[in-house]
Amino acid sequence: MEIKKNYINGKWVESETGRTLDILNPATGEVIGVVTHSSAVDAERAIQAAKTAFYQTREWRDMDAQTRADILLKIADLMEARADELARTDTLDNGKPLRESEGDISDAIHCYRYYAGLVGAPEGSTYQVNQGFGKMHSYEVREPIGVVAQITPWNYPLLMTAWKLAPALAAGNCVVFKPSDLSPLSTVMQFEIFEQAGLPAGTANLVLGSGTEVGVAFSSSMDVDMITFTGSTAVGQDIMKRAACNVKKIGLELGGKSPLVIFADCNLDAAVEWAMIGFLFNQGEVCSAVARMYVENSVKDEFVKKLVAKMEAMTIGNGLENPDIGPVITEKDMNRILGMIETAKSEGAKVLTGGYRYTEGDCAKGYFIKPTLLDCKQGMTPVREEIFGPVGTIVGFDTEAEAIALANDTEYGLAGAVFTENGAKALRVTTELRAGITWVNCCEPTFNQAPWGGYKMSGIGRELGVHGMEEYQETKQINIALEPGAPGWYVNG
């Protein structure tokens, strides 16, 4: 198998270590690719290439804005031409149903187009000031931050790549990038497309390797000006500590344990289907999964009955065959999730459906879990901790105030959803939720235009939208004295 390489300073290069890593398909356990496996030395080479490109060569940063936008549009067009191959790659690498990968690729393509459109968009403010030193004209300009390091997780391989690279590049930065070791193949294709689209050498550099070697080299570097990361809260905390060495700017999109509040006055059939999307999409391996369900006690049994019936009818299988749900990412994760279900049982949770490894037919070769619903009490481990798999919990409530208190009883604050036909109630609950993304009578959708990110231990900063571009920019104020001559401040000097 051809070894996929790093892309540093416009060249495809193997790691100085000579090491390689096998990439597995979680549906079959089979090897589907081999990548070079880099060290801190490789990471440093990439950082120096980005530093030279930003501070010395300056080609991307100083490029005519229309040409820069054209390159981003060309990247989108080239991705579109390879969309089927990209979607297939993400399904093989991550396991998700093919139609979900196709949706991811489409969103990723539009993310580049969206940020191409923001190149040269209005930015900053102007102020007319007269405060002690006479009249001044003050205005803001936005500038790229410099060398940006980016690290992504495995659950949305190409989409997370686009969410990070499109705004960082649109803003004129130079980037060093590390995808997850578990699903790096579509990111390699993304960099092939960068080369084809004419991105100048050193502008975007790919380093394939582990978080503990390459990721740590990024966060500890004195030459990286900003680091953005999507992944677990524990790793986010490590990055934050190391980033202190040179006071890097940080952007963190971390874990979640998001609530789904279902009131008796909602359209229950619609709520059941949305709930399934909310906690079973992408095998439940979604940071914003609303897997912590709270259901008004008067409809709890009915909701559970309908939900269990639909969950039990779901097809499970190899993502290429477009089942309702695919395998979880690794054997280790499968065992972690099954262990979490065992913990739940030992704490008194009742398994309403699922709760076991699914091994029918060819699924015996992969890492499949039967979609699982647990009847829980607040405070049990599966209600508190992120599961990141096809497992939801149900807890009952009686009043709106109780629902809000239960929903907010978490250290996380990424997302939350509420189902009710009462508009005022929906508004009250979403207003009270301490979370960055909230939904009414739906869950899961996100848009390139709208800011994405969490409160509390779910992160710092926002991705996507105009905010997402601003995260990759410095703001400078320029103050111009309008009065002629000196202000005459010193009496004796």
Residue closer to Mg ion (CB basis): 30 or 77: 30
| Minimum CB–partner distance for residue 329 and Mg ion (Å) | 7
| Minimum CB–partner distance for residue 250 and Mg ion (Å) | 27
CB atoms within 10 A of CB 339: 10
Residue closer to Mg ion (CB basis): 327 or 459: 327
Query: Hey, which residues are catalytic here?
Result: 253, 287
Q: Does 186 bind Mg ion (CB under 5 A)?
A: no
Subset of residues 278 to 297 that bind Mg ion, contact rule: CB under 5 A: none
Maximum separation of any 2 CA atoms in the chain, in Å: 92
Residue closer to ligand NAP (CB basis): 286 or 406: 286
Catalog residues that contact ligand NAP under the rule CB under 6 A: 151-155, 178, 180-181, 210-212, 215-216, 219, 230-232, 235, 238-239, 253-256, 287, 386, 388, 414, 454, 459
Residue closer to ligand NAP (CB basis): 71 or 151: 151
User: If contact means CB under 5 to 8 A according to the sort of partner, which of Mg ion, ligand NAP, none does residue 238 touch?
Assistant: ligand NAP
Among 15, 150, 183, 283, binds Mg ion (CB under 5 A): 183
Residue closer to ligand NAP (CB basis): 173 or 187: 187
Rounded distance, CA 381 to CA 39, Å?
A: 37
| Minimum CB–partner distance for residue 232 and Mg ion (Å) | 17
| Minimum CB–partner distance for residue 386 and ligand NAP (Å) | 5
Residue closer to ligand NAP (CB basis): 57 or 343: 343
Residues in contact with Mg ion, total (CB under 5 A)? 4
User: If contact means CB under 5 to 8 A according to the sort of partner, which of ligand NAP, Mg ion, none does residue 351 touch?
Assistant: none
| Minimum CB–partner distance for residue 24 and Mg ion (Å) | 5
User: If contact means CB under 5 to 8 A according to the sort of partner, which of Mg ion, ligand NAP, none does residue 216 touch?
Assistant: ligand NAP
Residue closer to ligand NAP (CB basis): 112 or 455: 455
Query: Of all residues in this chain, which one has the CB nearest to ligand NAP in the complex?
Result: 211
User: If contact means CB under 5 to 8 A according to the sort of partner, which of ligand NAP, Mg ion, none does residue 461 touch?
Assistant: none
Subset of residues 20 to 79 that bind Mg ion, contact rule: CB under 5 A: 24
Edge-to-edge order in the sheet of strand 473-481 = 126-130, 135-144, 473-481
Residue closer to Mg ion (CB basis): 180 or 258: 180
User: If contact means CB under 5 to 8 A according to the sort of partner, which of Mg ion, ligand NAP, none does residue 93 touch?
Assistant: Mg ion
User: If contact means CB under 5 to 8 A according to the sort of partner, which of Mg ion, ligand NAP, none does residue 183 touch?
Assistant: Mg ion
| Minimum CB–partner distance for residue 95 and Mg ion (Å) | 8
Rounded distance, CA 456 to CA 411, Å?
A: 6
SS3 readout for the chain:
CCEECEEECCEEECCCCCCEEEEECCCCCCEEEEEECECHHHHHHHHHHHHHHHHHHCCCCCCCHHHHHHHHHHHHHHHHHCHHHHHHHHHHHHCCCHHHHHHHHHHHHHHHHHHHHHCCCCCCCEEEEECCCCEEEEEEEEEECCEEEEECCCCCHHHHHHHHHHHHHHCCCEEEEECCCCCCHHHHHHHHHHHHHCCCCCCEEECCECHHHHHHHHHHCCCCCEEEEECCHHHHHHHHHHHHHHCCEEEEECCCCCEEEECCCCCHHHHHHHHHHHHHHHHHCCCCCCCEEEEEHHHHHHHHHHHHHHHHCCCECCHHHCCCECCCCCHHHHHHHHHHHHHHHHCCCEEEECCCECCCHHHHHCCCECCEEEECCCCCHHHHCCCCCCEEEEEEECCHHHHHHHHCCCCEECEEEEECCCHHHHHHHHHHCCCCEEEECCCCCCCCCCCECCEECCEECCECHHHHHHHCEEEEEEEEECCCCCCCCCCCC
- Mark the segment that binds Mg ion (CB under 5 A) among 18-26, 316-324, 347-355, 453-461: 18-26
Convert residues 86-105 into a mask of x (bound to Mg ion by CB under 5 A) and - (unbound).
-------x------------
Which residues in this chain contact Mg ion in the complex, by CB under 5 A?
A: 24, 93, 182-183
